[in-house]
Amino acid sequence: MSGLRFGNSSNIGTLLLVQIALVGISSVVVLTLGSVQALSWFIGGTISIVSNSYLAFKLISRRSADPNRVLGMMYAGEIGKIVITATLFAIIFATQAWVQPLALFLGYTAALLAHWLSAIVAGNRN
């Protein structure tokens, strides 16, 4: 995943892989509570992965040495990430009445925790 590096210390590919693994494994664990909860958890985690993937690819698609341009790209990426997240949640709630909101938001939150886990994983590899 060396092609997904942004900067010298951040590994975006590691973050996305940790998120995917975390959502997959935790969804299987949540399956013990029921299939609706597990699917809701999985959908929530997937929303986080999709929005983070947008931000990641926005950041690695255009490299610039100008700090103002980099900051602008980061702001634009974060705004896009928020819009994508809100839109996906709205679509799910509008079209899927069976979704368990608590499991959905906990799955989303669990995927966000991957930011910390990926830092630990990346730190152990260096």
In a domain, 21, yes or no: yes
Please give the residue range of the domain that contains residue 33. Answer: 2-121
**Range 3-19 burial, b when 16+ CB lie within 10 A, else e:** ebeeeeebbbbbbbbbb
For the chain, the domain total comes to: 1
Residues 49 and 10: their CA atoms lie apart, in Å, by 17
CB atoms within 10 A of CB 54: 16
Query: In which residue are the tokens 């992965």 written?
Result: 49
Asked if residue 60 is part of any domain, the answer here is: yes
pLDDT at 3: 42
Tokens linked to 66? 């100008």
- Domain-embedded: residue 18: yes
| Residue 76 maps to a domain | yes
pLDDT given at position 125: 61
Q: Is residue 77 part of a domain?
A: yes
Residue of 19, 1, 3 lying closest to 118 (CA atoms): 19
pLDDT tens digits in sequence order for the chain, 126 residues long: 344 444 433 567 777 888 888 899 999 999 998 999 999 999 999 999 999 889 888 877 777 677 888 888 889 889 999 999 999 999 999 999 999 999 999 999 999 888 777 777 666 665
Cα separation, 86 vs 77, whole angstroms: 14
126, part of any domain:
no
Q: Quick check: pTM over 0.85?
A: no
* Residue 114, domain member (yes or no): yes
